[in-house]
Structure 1
Amino acid sequence: MRLRELLIDAWSWLNYKQAMADPTRPGHHAFPELNTSWVPVEEMRRLAAYKFLAAYDSNQAGQLAAVTGEEHHGVERRELGDPSKLIDTTLGYLLGPEQTIVVPGADHAEQDKASAEDRAAADLQDKLRAWADKELLALRIQQAERCAVRCGDGVYTLAWEPSKRRALLRTYDPGFYFPEWDEGEQDSAEYPSRVHFAWELAADPVRGLKARVRRITYELGPIGPATSPGSLDGRAIREQVVGEDGDPVLTVGDTRDTVTGTVTRIYPWAPGKPSSTTCYLTDAEWLLEDLGRAHDVFSLPADKAAYRVRSDGQVLDRLDLMHDFIPVVHIPNSIPDVGEHWGKSTLATVLQLLDELAATDTDSASASATTGTPIVALAGARLPIDRSTGQPLPVRVEAGTVWQLSDSGRMDTLDTSAQLAELRQRINHLLDRLAANTRLTAAGLGSLDPAKLPNGYSLQVALGPLDSLVGALRLARNHKYQLLLRMVQRLHQAGQEWPAGESLPARLVFGAHTPTDRTTVLADVTSGYEAGVFSLETGVRMLQEAGYPIEDVAEEIERIQKRAFDQAARLADATGDNGAVRGYLGLPEADPVQKVPLIQPGQPGTQGQPPTGPHPAQPQPPTQLPPPGSTGAVGAGGPGPR
């Protein structure tokens, strides 16, 4: 790339590659599939960058260099998986050992004085976690985030599935993702008003299918009249529903302003706030032979489209999804620059360093071959002769080989062990440089000798750059996952599966990215809770983040309180409330104690007569038993018949 053609953009780190100098030039591009008519010219560099990064991830950078003509012997290039290791290591530190959905306030729902908001938060947290289990959220996160770490971008989509009665979560390759902004509004903070997903479908001669382009479009627009499936020229389309008077019919619940003609509806998550915006879904296919240079992914002809039909029979031609947001979440790997939408790959700034490492590995492999099987020069040796041809046989160095030399004979070997040692030192130097420039650190990559760390504080200092890297990566994603979980809530509300109401904040919490001194954390929690510095909820959450097997904070607190008899005793001394103590221990309410009235001296008895017996407070005389053989009864009346 000449200086006067210098281009600085989100993919400038690939300008040193010849194929990136002019990705639209026919015959000189490594990826001819990008030169099809429907791919926009302004998207060429981004898609080519994704291809380059995928080649490095799969150890095909040498093959790519041979195709582009940068290296004549690129196929012989040694690639030992360093790019893939960087991607997987970064992904592991980014996500941590586990990911947990947390709704603020859910931990207080089991308390005696829990508010309605706390109980609603706990209910939402349980529903979101149940949805995550059904949709394999942990697996989807691994798929999307690995693509984001490698390419710089990842994409999630959500769609309501009527048959399953839940929102489906899917991930897409960022090369299929084509956002569309209004003129002058492209910014990382702006949400696009239209999003396309497009890719080619190969021809299938067996089934009689031609090469096609499939495009899925989400678009925000004003609410219109109701539509229903129809047909036009044998093609499935959507057509307006009209009444008996010929006027368009509105969807149930929509209202039209008689003055402006604007149609509004009230969504379950915004009660009392009419909205005039909805999201439309279009899913269609086009034959490649019907597309020309005048058509790209943003301007495919509507009259050539073949619309798909959903499982419930709805034709996906501007289908009203009954919500006012685009169910697409773009995940950038890094915090985008001002005015940018795309993230930066973890391999971006160290790509040339990876080329140097691969070249050194290739040289090291060549040097090790000559070191293990050295080149031998013989002078004055009697070589064996092939009796059939009379020519000397080839000489090979093998164990136990003996050559007969003349008086002036000599044998010399080429020693390349010094060069091999130097190449190994250079490899170590490049790996240290790689660890420093990616901020993964030698300790994070596992190449640091533990004997060089005298204590844990030294390890913490060595992992300092890794901590800042993980913090920046997670900061770029925090809002995105909050947005994703909010969309999940609203889709279930629109599907009338979850109760209506304003959306509650929910976030995805990643696990600890570095080893934690669990003993120290336990000591801090114990001393801090006993001193009253922080609550039991905070202490249990600290233990959970430290790696202790605590699945649910609220349930763990309930188990602890059921056995906290010393705290219950102090609660009884402080309040004197037996019900509060039983509630603290998780015991049911006790049956009320029946009070028996006591008869006071001088008061009438139960039948209105004065008591005849001695006063309860006075001692009664001992009972006199009859002598043996006596027939008299024991009592105040004296002897009598038995």
Structure 2
Amino acid sequence: MGLKTVLIDAWSRLNFKPVYSDHLGMPNRRAFPEAYASWVPAADERRLAAYKLFTAYDSNQAAELAEIQAGVAERDRREYGDPSMFVDTLVAHVMGRGQTITVPGAEHATSDDTDGGQAAAERVQDLLRDWAETELLPMRMKQAERKAVSLGDAVYRLAWDPAKQRVTLRVSDPGFYFPVIGEDDDGGEYPQRIHFAWELPEDQQRNLPARLRRITYELDWIRPATASGVDRNSRPVRATVMTEPADGEPPVPALGKGDTADPDTGAISRIYPWSDKPSYRTCYLTDATWELGDIRAPADVDSLPLDKATFATRSDGEVLDHLDLLIDFIPVIHVPNTVPPAEEHWGQSSLAAVLQVFDELQGTDTDSARASATTGSPIIGLAGKNITGSGQHAVAPGMVFTLGENGRMDTLNTAPQLQELRHQRHDLSERAATVVRLPAVSLGTMDPSKVPSGYALALSLGPLDSLMDDMRIARDHKNTLLLKFVQRLHLAGQHPDWAGVTPLPAKLVYGPYTPTDRDAVLKQVTTGVEKGVLSLETGVRMLTEAGFPIDDMEKEIEQIQSRAFAQARDLADALGNPDEVADFLGRKAPEEPPVPPVQLPPQPGVQPQQDPQGQGPAGRPEGSGGNT
């Protein structure tokens, strides 16, 4: 009957765009050919098209997509980078002024740590911070956050690099990310199989056809050991390792190092370095490439024929065909921009709610550009007898028109229309900021001198506070998971610095995102610590969050205590133990000189005699054989 299909999903806010939603609710095939590749699952077509549309707005190329369906006239639309400015502002706010890795208990590590828990926390914290500095974690997070804010999703991939001897962290485009979520699966749970797939263009110089590459991580039962080999077609594959045949018995599949098989069920288990309980699961890695001509429908990214695949070989010679990574988790982390709805997997782009406003802004900018042309070069009408020349005249500075009897010159003034367009643009910008929950002060468009008070400024930042709370809630668990995976991969790689380390919960703390009154914070901390209602650790943390240049909280606390001589004097009076006082100051207690022996004055009639113990003279009465 020609009825339009109305689709409501995570990307239905884009349905107002004709290029994204046709009469069946599906994206235009000419505008989004990548979404309709034969290997792309039908459930991912709208997602991939949405990513491309968001990227076009972020790159000032929305008019190019609209041109495909609406015609060449759409290319005249002006795009001045408003979406990109919104994205950059949100990324800066959500990341804050710096990020700090903290492990609970590490801030209070002291010499009286009897069970070693505080020292272990401090060691893990130092190792994670060293890794973050070497792996450029802030830059990786910046890359991921820009993907998450603009597209709605970001993806981290972790791997152990034997050459670098550390865990590497990479950010992948969510358009390459294909988690396998079944009909009965909860989208909010961690998927058991994840694909990364993308097409490789034809390379005529190397005589390579168009290909599809797919990297797969899969959690499955532990199988017997495998080794690299080749099949009958000389294709690199992995084959099961068989044991040496015993007398009269056939060979059986060999177990991996440290694996144990249950004699009753045959299930294989192993104990990982981060757990003392046996696990029956492991993660397998496959890196395969297909020629696009070998892929026939209805095969999609999850059901590609492995018999036509070419498997990659790692730098150490291992064929990546179901390679056992010796870990019981998938080292991939999906970061949604917003908290997904219940049982859903995908986040929402921060641009989705205001795309229509951005379209109106583009239209207003286009009209303003046209109006400014007539305002700067106005249209002039001449009337009267004996006008020099006829038809149209090019007006230039210094030009003189000779007008005859009753001559008149009229100018078309479009300045009022231009002024109205400027007001319209200002209203639309405020509307977009209101919808996104970005106050004018956070965008830098408010004059600071017009803020009546700090309290008024704090109230105006209320929408931004709620927005940042929501966005950081969506990231807190993912960042904790990231640091947990980093610890486990270092243990799996047997890095010497991580020997004997037990993974501990670690958090990634974001810095402040709003302007703070440092003088007020400093006064609060000083008073609180002095009066004893705040600990020194809490006070230093408050100063760090307020933006004070404190690189390391532990070292800052040590430096403060090393100069707290008045408190050290009170500690000495209370405990009378110079060792604890020296430890408080971070110094070594001085060695006390030996106490000199007591010299008693000689008594009449008693001859001083050297004590046989060497402890001083002893009196002996004259003429007696015993000691007095």
- Give the alignment's TM-score, normalised by structure 2: 0.93
The separation in 1 between residues aligned to 2:2 and 2:80, in whole angstroms, is 33
CA offsets 1:28-87 (integer angstroms, 9 cap, x no match): 430223222111111000000000000000001111111122x54111111111000000
- Structure 2 residue runs of 5 or longer lacking an equivalent are 246-250, 612-616, 621-628
CA offsets 1:86-110 (integer angstroms, 9 cap, x no match): 0000000000121111111111124
1:610–1:65 distance in 2 versus 1, CA, 3 Å? closer
Q: State the SS of the aligned residue for 1:33.
A: helix
CA offsets 1:229-267 (integer angstroms, 9 cap, x no match): 000111100001101121111011000000000000000
* Residue of structure 1 equivalent to 2:35: 34
Q: Which piece of structure 1 moves more, 205-214 or 13-22?
A: 13-22
CA offsets 1:423-449 (integer angstroms, 9 cap, x no match): 111111111111111101111111123
1:588 Cα deviation after fit: 1.1
Letter paired with 2:187: D
* Residue of structure 2 equivalent to 1:365: 369
1:575 Cα deviation after fit: 1.3
1:350 Cα deviation after fit: 0.4
The separation in 2 between residues aligned to 1:113 and 1:381, in whole angstroms, is 105
* Residue of structure 1 equivalent to 2:398: 400
1:310 Cα deviation after fit: 0.7
CA offsets 1:481-512 (integer angstroms, 9 cap, x no match): 00010000000111112235642001111110
Residue 278 (structure 1) aligned with residue 282 (structure 2): yes
The separation in 1 between residues aligned to 2:541 and 2:114, in whole angstroms, is 19
* Residue of structure 2 equivalent to 1:626: none
CA offsets 1:297-346 (integer angstroms, 9 cap, x no match): 11110001100011111100000000100000000000111121100011
Q: State the SS of the aligned residue for 2:157.
A: strand
Residues matched between the structures, number: 603
Letter paired with 1:50: Y
The separation in 1 between residues aligned to 2:13 and 2:506, in whole angstroms, is 36
CA offsets 1:103-122 (integer angstroms, 9 cap, x no match): 11111124544751111111
1:557 Cα deviation after fit: 0.9
Whether the aligned pair in 2 keeps the contact of 1:182 and 1:193 (CA below 8 Å) is: no
* Within-5 A mapping of 1:89-168: 89-113=89-113, 115-168=115-168
* Residue of structure 1 equivalent to 2:483: 485
Whether the aligned pair in 2 keeps the contact of 1:212 and 1:285 (CA below 8 Å) is: yes
1:136 Cα deviation after fit: 1.0
1:219 Cα deviation after fit: 0.1
The separation in 2 between residues aligned to 1:158 and 1:321, in whole angstroms, is 12
* Residue of structure 1 equivalent to 2:316: 312
Residue 447 (structure 1) aligned with residue 445 (structure 2): yes
Q: Which piece of structure 1 moves more, 193-202 or 16-25?
A: 16-25
Whether the aligned pair in 2 keeps the contact of 1:24 and 1:44 (CA below 8 Å) is: no
* Within-5 A mapping of 1:330-369: 330-369=334-373
* Residue of structure 1 equivalent to 2:252: 247
1:118–1:318 distance in 2 versus 1, CA, 3 Å? same
1:323–1:51 distance in 2 versus 1, CA, 3 Å? same
Residue 176 (structure 1) aligned with residue 146 (structure 2): no
* Residue of structure 2 equivalent to 1:222: 221
* Within-5 A mapping of 1:530-549: 530-549=530-549
The separation in 2 between residues aligned to 1:500 and 1:598, in whole angstroms, is 54
* Residue of structure 2 equivalent to 1:429: 427
1:27 Cα deviation after fit: 7.2
Letter paired with 2:376: G
1:366 Cα deviation after fit: 0.6
Aligned-residue CA RMSD in angstroms? Answer: 2.0
Whether the aligned pair in 2 keeps the contact of 1:482 and 1:508 (CA below 8 Å) is: yes
The separation in 2 between residues aligned to 1:256 and 1:129, in whole angstroms, is 39
Residue 323 (structure 1) aligned with residue 322 (structure 2): no
Residue 378 (structure 1) aligned with residue 382 (structure 2): yes
CA offsets 1:433-484 (integer angstroms, 9 cap, x no match): 1111110111111112333321111111011100111111111100000001
* Residue of structure 1 equivalent to 2:455: 457
The separation in 2 between residues aligned to 1:146 and 1:28, in whole angstroms, is 27
1:122–1:398 distance in 2 versus 1, CA, 3 Å? same
The separation in 2 between residues aligned to 1:343 and 1:27, in whole angstroms, is 23
State, as a whole percentage, how many aligned pairs show the same letter: 53
Q: State the SS of the aligned residue for 2:404.
A: strand
Whether the aligned pair in 1 keeps the contact of 2:113 and 2:119 (CA below 8 Å) is: no
Q: State the SS of the aligned residue for 1:238.
A: strand
Q: Which piece of structure 1 moves more, 529-538 or 591-600?
A: 591-600
- Give the alignment's TM-score, normalised by structure 1: 0.91
Letter paired with 1:191: Y
Letter paired with 1:267: Y
The separation in 2 between residues aligned to 1:26 and 1:462, in whole angstroms, is 39
* Residue of structure 2 equivalent to 1:499: 499
1:106–1:606 distance in 2 versus 1, CA, 3 Å? farther
Q: State the SS of the aligned residue for 2:20.
A: helix
Letter paired with 2:545: E
* Residue of structure 1 equivalent to 2:614: none
The separation in 2 between residues aligned to 1:47 and 1:367, in whole angstroms, is 38
Q: State the SS of the aligned residue for 1:228.
A: strand
The separation in 2 between residues aligned to 1:312 and 1:60, in whole angstroms, is 43
Q: Which piece of structure 1 moves more, 192-201 or 110-119?
A: 110-119
The separation in 2 between residues aligned to 1:510 and 1:96, in whole angstroms, is 6
Whether the aligned pair in 1 keeps the contact of 2:388 and 2:403 (CA below 8 Å) is: no
The separation in 2 between residues aligned to 1:331 and 1:313, in whole angstroms, is 33
1:549 Cα deviation after fit: 1.3
* Residue of structure 1 equivalent to 2:191: 192
The separation in 2 between residues aligned to 1:606 and 1:44, in whole angstroms, is 107
CA offsets 1:365-393 (integer angstroms, 9 cap, x no match): 111111111111122365666xxxxxx58
The separation in 2 between residues aligned to 1:481 and 1:198, in whole angstroms, is 25
Q: Which piece of structure 1 moves more, 171-180 or 292-301?
A: 292-301
Q: State the SS of the aligned residue for 1:93.
A: helix
The separation in 2 between residues aligned to 1:79 and 1:551, in whole angstroms, is 41
Q: State the SS of the aligned residue for 1:428.
A: helix
Whether the aligned pair in 1 keeps the contact of 2:267 and 2:280 (CA below 8 Å) is: yes
Letter paired with 1:97: R
The separation in 2 between residues aligned to 1:323 and 1:65, in whole angstroms, is 47
Whether the aligned pair in 1 keeps the contact of 2:120 and 2:501 (CA below 8 Å) is: no
Whether the aligned pair in 2 keeps the contact of 1:66 and 1:72 (CA below 8 Å) is: yes
* Residue of structure 2 equivalent to 1:594: 594
The separation in 2 between residues aligned to 1:606 and 1:559, in whole angstroms, is 55
Q: State the SS of the aligned residue for 1:73.
A: helix
* Within-5 A mapping of 1:289-300: 289-300=293-304
Whether the aligned pair in 1 keeps the contact of 2:387 and 2:404 (CA below 8 Å) is: no
The separation in 1 between residues aligned to 2:173 and 2:252, in whole angstroms, is 43
CA offsets 1:280-302 (integer angstroms, 9 cap, x no match): 00001000111112221111100
* Residue of structure 1 equivalent to 2:610: 607
Letter paired with 1:203: E
Whether the aligned pair in 2 keeps the contact of 1:105 and 1:122 (CA below 8 Å) is: yes
The separation in 2 between residues aligned to 1:2 and 1:169, in whole angstroms, is 49
Whether the aligned pair in 1 keeps the contact of 2:578 and 2:589 (CA below 8 Å) is: no
The separation in 1 between residues aligned to 2:154 and 2:178, in whole angstroms, is 12
Q: Which piece of structure 1 moves more, 550-559 or 325-334?
A: 550-559
CA offsets 1:504-523 (integer angstroms, 9 cap, x no match): 00111111000111111111
Q: State the SS of the aligned residue for 2:487.
A: helix
